[in-house]
Amino acid sequence: MRYAWILANREVYSIPMMCELLGVSRSGLSAAAKRERSERRLEEAEVVEQIRRAQTKHKGRYGRRRMTPEVSEALGRKINHKRIGRLMRDHDLQSRKRRAFRVRTTDSKHAYPIAPNVLERDFAATAPDQKWLADMTYVPTAEGWLYLALVLDLFARKIVGWAMSETMPQELTIEALQVALG
């Protein structure tokens, strides 16, 4: 650490003064500079190569925490997680986050006719059964997805009809409307 600081600041301060203040010999500084450049670069190249292999193996999903034991085991020696993190940053080997799974229930890019907007965003009803609103949603359960179609009376803000199914057929909304009419 001392040697690295001295080498980084040799343009600002004199080397003999820094060596004396930090309690290191000039010959030790010279030996450390030669040793660090050659051995450290070779070792870092080996670690980076192992990180690249692990990233390929795990499809870029491993970050610093999971990469550390993976690389340490492959190289047969302990490597500090901070060093792994720095090398991953320096060589642009960060992990990619997996996109969350999303269920698509709406296809807005279809060729079918679009129903007119009859309510014109006026959701105030003065009496029951004047305005109904229909919607469809999905609910995750332990056994899979459950699709739910609802019909809501805007005056009372209560559900007047509903239907459920494990699949999403077109008849699901019609069943919910028939329940509301019945």
3-state secondary structure of 169: coil
Which of 38, 63, 90 corresponds to the end of one domain?
90
Residues 73 and 144 in one domain: no
Residues 13 and 86 in one domain: yes
Using one digit for the tens of pLDDT, what is the confidence trace for 102-134? 777 677 888 888 888 888 888 888 999 889 988
Using one digit for the tens of pLDDT, what is the confidence trace for 32-49? 777 655 556 658 888 999
Which residues form the domain of 73? 2-90
The count of structural domains within the chain is 2
Q: What is the pLDDT of residue 36?
A: 57
Using one digit for the tens of pLDDT, what is the confidence trace for 59-74? 888 999 999 999 999 9
Residues in Cβ contact with 155 at an 8 Å cutoff, skipping those fewer than 6 apart: 125, 126, 127, 128, 129, 130, 131
Query: In 3D, which of 105, 72, 73 has the Cα closest to residue 87?
Result: 72
